[in-house]
Structure 1
Amino acid sequence: MPIPETTGAFAIVPHNDLSGAIPFWERLGFARTGGDSAYIIMTGWGCEVHLTQAGAGPWRGPEKHNPFGVFIRTPDVDAIAVLVDDLVVRPGGVLRHREWGLYEVGICGPDGMLVRIGWPSRLMQGPAAAGSNPG
């Protein structure tokens, strides 16, 4: 699958075990579309994430208090959450409309990285729209 023609800002995420992180992103619905053995480009849900091997010593990703995070903005919040229900951060990560106007869920990713998936509450349709907050 070739790298798609997209515009936007994309996260470059270091992982302590790059090859071990790929199955996580695949579970989220991403597919490898480019890169090499040390830099992997994955696309899915209209988004792109770039994965790289974290370094050693001070360049290793802190697993206990990882400051890195990725936000995936897509209307398919519910569909993705079902794929990784066992990784949802609870109690705060349950699917809900947040006070800042997003319907979202939090997922625990590789190396303790937070992955949030969300979409503007005002744009949600179907059952998720029922609890919509103004935003």
Structure 2
Amino acid sequence: MARVRVGALVAVQACSWPCPSCPWRKDNARRYRYPNLREYLAGTVPGEPDFGKPVDGDPLSALGTMFACHRIPNDNAHLCAGWLAAHGAEHPIARLGIAWGLIDPAALTPRQRAVRRVRSVSR
């Protein structure tokens, strides 16, 4: 799965719908297994142990990393629609992107019935 750090002030492309194998789709909870999902979640979901972990040379690392769709090539990365709907409202960069008009606020609420919140550690 790909992650994308948003550091430049440019409009952010987001998928319009969670893809068929999206880990945030409720109907995929038992169909797909992602062995490295917990690793990716740690830096992309506020409240997780590694969220905002300092990275040398990156002053924005405290704001976390955003989760890109794993089906779109990295050279044309789009934010994962499932991640954005499930966790975007609490993510600092997503919130700033919405406030600055770089991310469509509708991406946080549509189709919430279709997504589930995923955590990297058991609670």
Same fold, judged at TM 0.5 (above): no
Could you say which TM-score interval applies, normalised by the shorter chain? under 0.3
Task: Indicate the structure (1 or 2) with the bigger Cα radius of gyration.
Answer: 1
TM (norm. structure 1) is 0.26
Q: Which structure is richer in relative contact order (CA contacts within 8 A, separation 6 or more)?
A: 2
TM (norm. structure 2) is 0.27
Greater strand content: 1
